[in-house]
């Protein structure tokens, strides 16, 4: 989900470059729902190539060959996508122009490797190089998602039902998929951070998440008390950026929903530990990483005995970052609700 949400920036650049062209999207379920009503796309191909086996692969090949595309832009350039494009060229008429982020077959429009660039590359930079290979200027700095009016209305109604209209609130995204539990900052840190927020010019905190994060979100909301609103499991995917758009601040772990929230283009602090913010940080000028300096940082491990990268990141340090983004987060003294930012 995070990759597809961030790709919204590249999709905007492609749509601007080819305003009169038919543009289709090829992705995996279930995240196709992010773009089902997006006017930039005429059609969405959605085949489960990860689990569907040869049958799904064959259906994909026939569907793509039937349209007769002039250009394919492979933003991920995985072994799977390379194989599918190679098979397309062998079994059917190949797509004339094929852009990818690797200088390898079957791409004939290949991203230039920046020799002067050292260290990890951000996903947006990689996408930018891929677009450049196809002659497309990449200028969109954060994900652009088309959010239907009915979704905006639904998100507004949800906030109103929970008494958040006219309130200044911050959004917390404390979870991540269960398999990546090392990327979680932890309940105790989010609880303490929420309490720090409520001592400032913040009326409420809103806790957001999905099915894998229900327990985490409930525990945080219960401990924070009446000033916390737990919306975990109550929001559709595209409602999340609408809610974050109305928040004065969003704080999140490195998770797919953080990339979705970055479409709001609002102030956001993202807690990073085992993953490198130079690669994974959500796109946008208002996004900051929170990370401690340790020899084992950015280890990308799935299991860890000490979890120091999260254990040693103090809520006060994250608050300092938040204050640099939102100067209005000053210490107490407000007298009642204020307009949400």
Is residue 292 located within the same domain as residue 153? yes
Is residue 97 located within the same domain as residue 177? no
Nearest to 16 by CA among 4, 8, 5: 8
CATH code for the domain of 205: 3.40.50.2000
Is residue 154 located within the same domain as residue 117? no
Examine residue 189 and state whether it is found in any structural domain, yes or no: yes
Is residue 154 located within the same domain as residue 283? yes
Is residue 15 located within the same domain as residue 43? yes
- Please say whether the beta carbons of 144 and 11 come within 8 A: yes
Res. 334: pLDDT tops 60: no
The per-residue pLDDT for 339 is: 33
d(CA 104, CA 100) in angstroms, rounded, equals: 8
Q: What is the pLDDT of residues 260-304, one digit of tens each?
A: 999 999 999 999 999 999 999 999 999 999 999 999 999 999 999
Examine residue 17 and state whether it is found in any structural domain, yes or no: yes
Is residue 116 located within the same domain as residue 196? no
Examine residue 76 and state whether it is found in any structural domain, yes or no: yes
Examine residue 139 and state whether it is found in any structural domain, yes or no: no
Q: How confident is the model at residue 110 (pLDDT cuts 50, 70, 90)?
A: confident
Is residue 124 located within the same domain as residue 226? no
Examine residue 141 and state whether it is found in any structural domain, yes or no: no
The pTM of the full predicted model, rounded to 2 decimals, is 0.91
Q: Which domain holds residue 8?
A: 2-133
Is residue 268 located within the same domain as residue 163? yes
Res. 58: pLDDT tops 60: yes
Task: From 69, 104, 133, give the residue that closes a domain.
Answer: 133
Q: What is the pLDDT of residues 111-163, one digit of tens each?
A: 876 655 567 889 999 999 999 999 999 999 999 999 999 999 999 999 999 99
Is residue 23 located within the same domain as residue 107? yes
CA separation, residue 72 to residues 22, 79, 102, 109, 111 (Å) = 12, 16, 14, 10, 13
The per-residue pLDDT for 139 is: 95
Examine residue 59 and state whether it is found in any structural domain, yes or no: yes
Q: What is the pLDDT of residues 10-41, one digit of tens each?
A: 999 999 999 999 999 999 999 999 999 999 99
Examine residue 167 and state whether it is found in any structural domain, yes or no: yes
What per-residue string of b and e applies to 211-238 under the rule 16 or more CB within 10 Å gives b? ebbeebbbbbbeebeebbbbbbeebebb
Is residue 83 located within the same domain as residue 195? no
The per-residue pLDDT for 293 is: 94
Is residue 182 located within the same domain as residue 86? no
Examine residue 228 and state whether it is found in any structural domain, yes or no: yes
Is residue 120 located within the same domain as residue 159? no
Q: How many domains does the chain have?
A: 2
CA separation, residue 274 to residues 57, 179, 280, 304 (Å) = 34, 13, 11, 10
The residue-averaged pLDDT of 315-324 equals: 96
């Amino acid at each position: 989900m995070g990759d597809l949400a961030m790709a919204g920036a590249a999709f905007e650049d492609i749509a601007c470059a080819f305003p009169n062209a038919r543009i289709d999207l090829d992705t995996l379920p279930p995240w196709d729902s992010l773009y089902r009503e997006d006017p930039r796309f005429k059609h969405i191909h959605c085949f489960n190539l990860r689990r569907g086996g040869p049958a799904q692969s064959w259906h994909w090949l026939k569907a793509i060959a039937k349209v007769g595309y002039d250009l394919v832009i492979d933003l991920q350039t995985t072994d799977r996508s390379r194989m599918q494009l190679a098979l397309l060229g062998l079994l059917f008429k190949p797509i004339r122009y094929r852009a990818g982020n690797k200088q390898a077959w079957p791409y004939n429009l290949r991203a230039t490797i920046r020799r002067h660039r050292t260290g990890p590359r951000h996903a947006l930079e990689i996408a930018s190089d891929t677009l450049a290979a196809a002659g497309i200027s990449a200028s969109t700095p954060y994900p652009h998602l088309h959010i239907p009016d009915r979704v905006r209305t639904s998100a507004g109604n949800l906030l109103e039902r929970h008494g958040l209209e006219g309130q200044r609130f911050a959004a917390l995204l404390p979870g991540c998929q269960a398999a990546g539990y090392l990327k979680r900052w932890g309940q105790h840190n989010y609880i303490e951070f929420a309490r720090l927020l409520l001592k400032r010019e913040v009326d409420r905190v809103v806790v957001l998440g999905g099915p894998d994060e229900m327990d985490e979100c409930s525990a945080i909301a219960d401990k924070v008390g009446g000033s916390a609103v737990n919306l975990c499991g109550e929001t559709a995917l595209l409602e999340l950026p609408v809610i974050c758009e109305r928040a004065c601040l969003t704080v999140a772990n490195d998770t797919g929903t953080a990339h979705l929230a970055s479409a709001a283009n609002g102030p956001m602090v993202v807690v990073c530990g085992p993953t490198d913010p130079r690669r994974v940080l959500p796109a946008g000028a208002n996004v900051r990483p929170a990370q401690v300096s340790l020899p084992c940082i950015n280890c990308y491990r799935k299991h860890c005995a000490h979890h120091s990268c999260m254990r040693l990141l103090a809520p006060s340090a994250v608050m300092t970052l938040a204050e640099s983004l939102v100067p209005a987060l000053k210490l107490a003294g407000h007298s009642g609700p204020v307009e949400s930012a």
